[in-house]
Structure 1
Amino acid sequence: MVDVVYKLPKKHKLLIISLISLMMIVALWPSEKATASKDHDKNALEVGKRYELPVKVSEKTEHLTELNAADTPSETKKVEYSFIDHEVKAGDNLAIIFKRAGFSAQTLHQLVNTNEETRKLTKIHPGEVLSFAKDKDGKLAQLKYVLSKTDTLFVTLNQDDSYDTAIKSKEIETVAKSAGGEISSSFWTAGITSGLSERQIMNFADIFGWDVDFANDIRKGDSFSIIYESHFVDGEEIGTGKIIAAEFINQGERYSAIRHTDGNFYTPEGRSMKKAFLRAPVNFKYISSSFNPRRKHPVTGRVTAHRGIDYSARTGTPVVASGNGKVIKSSYNRLNGNYVFIQHGSKYVTKYLHLNKRMVKTGQKVKQGQKIGTVGATGRVTGAHLHYEFLVNGVHRNPKTVELPKSESLPQDQLAAFKPIAKDLLTQLERNRELRLAMNN
């Protein structure tokens, strides 16, 4: 090997000598002191193993961390409760149900006296359901009580053994629906047939009560249309809301009403449906006799002027004031029985005769729609009914046809926004009516 190196050119000899020198320097360079043991040092790092870097936390931070962990809302911790349902049976009360569910009278007392919400539990009814969930120690962890189709009461146990309450409400979806029909016998029957509820029928009659006497003016062939709110929860219809628009065709005359943002109803032109007087002082009932100056008196048989309208209804049916005014007479005599006279300004007087009970006194101020008495059979009568009279400047007028003061109109600044909405709703009412007619033909 030496001979080989020796025979190489001088330039190559210097390169080889330099490489050998560098290798010797690296080999002889001192390294860090290392230790070893038979069992391997347990503090030594192992290849391929992950280690967490310890970080020192102040005592205050550690305390806050514990509080946050303890006080995390149940929604965040996603606590799952396993409920057992207990239906309320006839004769049940909370004590019986709690005992049946395995909870003490002390737990019941504590829960019921938590707040006003838990006290509602004392008013449970047969058919309702109370749902109980226990924790690992057998305590009442949560109680669930359905208040309505939208609201559910939850009573939850805290770490300090007190109870918290919360009412969770489902989202209500409101959609517009329509209905309508033609009257063949009565408006009530036609309304029920069209799918309207009793409340909707009464509300409809109230809307047009200033223009139409539903007890006397209804005729076969009259028709009605209505657009109203319907409420849904989870796709299930839970009830109806307010009337949005309505139309009534009575004896060939059309009446239309649109609900404004103030909650009141107006004609398409913006005039209030509310007027100074109601056409009838009782909810629509049938009438035994109408205004007739030449009718025979049912008791005497003689032809005497009948300057009013008789509303036949059961004893006790509410009678209301047809307009704002002041009671000028509330008394009794043998002909009128119990009666009430009301002065409306300087021009109008209304009279209500044969009442079973009077609920206002002479000199008392009354509001339109206020209950002033009930239908009866006092005085010279043959049966229970209300006799109603309407006087203008001291002269009797037919309550059905007397011209009444005009109602107020919406302010001009509101009319601009109201009229386009009213027009669209009227178009929809018209289309609904045409569709019903096409389906019936």
Structure 2
Amino acid sequence: MTAIPQERRVVTAIPGPKSQELQARRTATVAGGVGSVLPVFTARAGGGIIEDVDGNRLIDFGSGIAVTSVGASAEAVVRRASAQLADFTHTCFMVTPYEGYVEVCEALAELTPGDHAKKSALFNSGAEAVENAVKVARSYTGRQAVVVFDHGYHGRTNLTMALTAKNMPYKHGFGPFAPEVYRVPVAYGYRWPTGAENAGAEASAQAIDMISKQVGAENVAAIIIEPVLGEGGFIEPAKGFLPAIAEFAKENGIVFVADEIQSGFCRTGQWFACEDEGVVPDLITTAKGIAGGLPLAAVTGRAEIMDAVHSGGLGGTYGGNPVACAGALGSIETMKELDLNAKARRIEEVMKGRLATMQEKYPAIGDIRGRGAMIAIELVKDPATKEPDAAAAGALAKACHAEGLLVLTCGTYGNVLRFLPPLVIGEDLLNEGLDILEQAFAGV
């Protein structure tokens, strides 16, 4: 898989002296608004390991935020992207097109849910994909309103900040935001007032009632939801919620958009998370895991919806860059060859088993949730009150980092530890990472 030894190694403090030197250079020239979870500077990465400039090897439970699902230097991605790099780096698909873009769209038509005719447009980032899905939906329906959900995250551009629920750090001080965006409840089982078993039916009824009364279904162009909410805390909407919302959209001529930017491409043990309840979206947005670490995103959907936009209305200078397209084809090849959906399901089995054992010992773990290799634990001060404990999440992450395990936090309340290991991680590394987490709990 990769030349990097697949073993953890801590030889200096983390961050080490060379990383600290680079951090000083960074502070002098990189804008302060660009943060970093852990200021260790990467030298190489592959499989389940990130090697830093000081020679430390960290176990990777982040995958660059669900991007390097096939590893950060997957053979097929490197091979295909390198070959394309030697041929040409760019012509702009809107000037003189090339086959790679078409091949990626063909693969998306094959892999995304539903057997209807599909078309795609390619972009650079998840936020761009979501923004363009809104453009397509508005063009197709002739309507303006867009409905999103509590705890949702959709990006950092002006429109996608409006779609995103969380103020800090994504929206704070950046307004005014795009109009005609309406937010409704989501079925957050762990925190639903009448219990998780009622969340699906009650939350969907509430959301539909709010859309009908406050917005008017006939004014809604699109309903956009992450089938597993990412930054909001890896919330799986309670069963029945997504199908009910999708059905409401269908009945009212609303374009139903599944934002699969974090949850797509084998991450949850299926090609796409919406497949879990058989939901077939009208449009699906993808990015992150699509191209093995190269910047690429897509909107894929029903041909008649995608074709509603006038010629020249969609695009962008770099959208569907040829090197990124080659990377995507290598990434998809790897996912199929190694059956990474099965690998993701195995990761879930191992992680949930170990985390359940930890939960018995440490009641601070209020909830264990997620699917495949998209797993999280929500930390609380008291399981009875479920008061969020962001400090515990931060302390645990810090303790893991010091021992050479990269983990990320998330959640509207900042109290969720999320685990996104590369799908190619070895089971020994996976278990060693969980050992470190368990030690962190004992220490914190």
TM-score, normalisation: structure 1:
0.21
Q: Name the structure with the higher strand share.
A: 1
Please identify which structure carries the higher helix content.
2
TM-score of the two chains, using structure 2 as the length reference: 0.21
Larger relative contact order, structure 1 or 2 (CA cutoff 8 Å, min sep 6) = 2
